[in-house]
Amino acid sequence: MSRTGPKRSESIRLAVLNAADDLLVERGFDGVTIEGIAARAGVAKQTLYRWWKSKVDILLDTLAGDARDGLAWQLGSASAEEELQRQLRRINAFFHEPAGHVLRALLGHAQTNPATARALREGFLREQRERDRAGLRAVLARHTACQTARQTGRHLDDHVVDGLLDLLLGPLYYRTLVGDRAAEPAILDATAHLVLDTAARITRSDQEPSG
């Protein structure tokens, strides 16, 4: 996230982000304060305010960095179903790591704080959605349950891919945010299979001659 003002020391920035991460896990969202982060990181409170407007901005910065690796799509030569299963397992694990606690805390705070909701949706969630959409489209373009493997990615427009992405991630988010527990591997596997089956059905329907 770009900030105005003096150039930041990378070592200090990382110290602040790590301190925010640790404090959120230890004390929860309400227990995290600018004063606490500054004390844990060993920097002056004024330094934090020069670079971030609030603790929410610090946590968003922390989340963005952690998610680049933790939620990245690592596609290879496995089958479509295996690739989706692996990605769901990565997300499932991420939710229960310190970085995932940050995401869960921000999502919770966003329900009652419009400013946090706006910052989260216009920043991290929008960017992660784009990455997830690209990852899912790549899987569908390269691997599909129907015969026209190479055509699937082109035939499914953005609206359909968005629906499939909701279907892919919805059960995992529900288990984590509502049930407060990790999703079982069987649920993740069934979800991956359902998404591919639905994509194949839509593709076949699009290719059937009308009339």
* CATH fold of 67-206: Tetracycline Repressor; domain 2 (1.10.357)
What was the pLDDT predicted at 208?
53
Packing angle, helices 55-70 and 10-27, rounded to 10 = 100
Same fold, 10-52 and 67-206: no
pLDDT at 143: 62
pLDDT for 150 beyond 80: no
Of 4, 10, 116, the closest CA to residue 57 belongs to: 116
Residue ranges of domains in the chain: 10-52, 67-206
Interval 175-203: pLDDT, tens? 999 988 999 999 999 999 999 999 888 87
What is the crossing angle of helices 80-95 and 55-70, to 10°?
150
Residue found by looking up tokens 């596997």 in the block: 189
* Residues 50, 47: Cα–Cα separation, whole Å: 5
pLDDT in tens, 7-35: 568 899 999 999 999 999 999 999 999 99
What confidence category does residue 144 fall into, taking pLDDT thresholds of 50, 70 and 90?
A: low
DSSP alpha helix (H) spans, 28-113 = 34-41, 45-51, 55-70, 80-95, 98-110
Pair of tokens at residue 175: 């288990």
* Domain 10-52 = CATH 3.30.9.10: no
